[in-house]
Amino acid sequence: PGGGAASSAGASRPISILIRTLNEADRIEAAIRSALPIGGEIIVIDAGSSDDTAAIAERLGAKVIVNPWPGFGPQRYFGEEKCAHDLIFALDADEIVTPEFVRELHQVLDQADPPRLMQVRKAMIFPHHKKPPPLGFCTTQIYIYDRRIARTNSNPNWDKLDIASKEPVHLIKAPIWHFSYRDWNHVVQKANYVAQLAADTSPVRSRLGLLFRLVFEFPATFFKFYFLRRYFLAGADGFTMAMLSAFGRYLRIAKMLERADFNYTRNKTNSR
């Protein structure tokens, strides 16, 4: 399905752009269109969207494969298996590839022996904003990698690469733009989902340690995001985002403590 928009946008390159989706009809078109100039194939692993996500992606030339959601890590690992090329660019449906990023990536890929591990900088776009603030903070991780030496592990809470090589990592300096949240309600919903997922899947932690973190997690996280990650550059929205980020981390600890208390009570009852 589709036609060939992905393959006709510039020179074909041996790279697979891997995107996971679930009900991203309002954002997937912008993500795919921004990535088309890279060349290569676009693979969308959809977790069973009830909206037009899959239809939009196919119309733009992407190959869509449906796989029920098994967690963050397992879903990307599944997608890595479906890619035609060994070099993979893991892109999210809420991200925009900038023209500056495309130009820099092309320069790297055109080398005689391009690197097999590349770090990508992601500039967060705050709700109600169209671009990152000047001098805004960027997260940096390896998102372009050769699957022969790097694979996503099975942790359902986040994406973490297991890398079986000591070769150097190249940094793509031009950032991509990350529109992680639609609005404040989306921030709260996502914080609750991630907190519950961590509580359900992480090993049971020490109750004393969780009690300690319950007190300090919120202020420490707020300081980290508002000052060290420079959220203050986004004005009132930056302050709100730092507060909600701190709330999300606090909620995760609270839910993990709730689980630890439940296990403690159950074990005490069973020992009688």
pLDDT digits (tens, 9 = 90+) for 133-157: 999 999 999 999 999 999 999 999 8
Q: What is the pLDDT of residue 11?
A: 59
The tens digit of pLDDT for each residue in 164-185 reads: 999 999 999 999 999 999 999 9
The stretches in the chain having pLDDT less than 70 are 1-11, 264-272
What's the predicted TM-score (pTM) here?
A: 0.90
Q: What is the pLDDT of residue 3?
A: 39
The tens digit of pLDDT for each residue in 104-120 reads: 999 999 999 999 999 99
The rounded distance, in Å, linking the Cα atoms of 18 and 159 is 13
DSSP state of 195: H
Strand partners, 124: 178
Q: What is the pLDDT of residue 186?
A: 97
Strand partners, 91: 19
Q: What is the pLDDT of residue 12?
A: 79
Closest CA to 20 of 165, 221, 169, 159: 159
- Cβ atoms of 38 and 97 within 8 Å: the answer is yes
Q: What is the pLDDT of residue 268?
A: 60
Helix (H, G, I), strand (E, B) or coil at 221: helix
Question: Could you tell me which residues come within 8 angstroms of residue 111 by beta carbon, excluding any fewer than 6 positions away?
Answer: none
User: Tokens for 217?
Assistant: 């997690």
- Cβ atoms of 76 and 90 within 8 Å: the answer is yes
- Phi first, then psi, for residue 214 (nearest 5°) are -60, -35
Strand partners, 96: 177
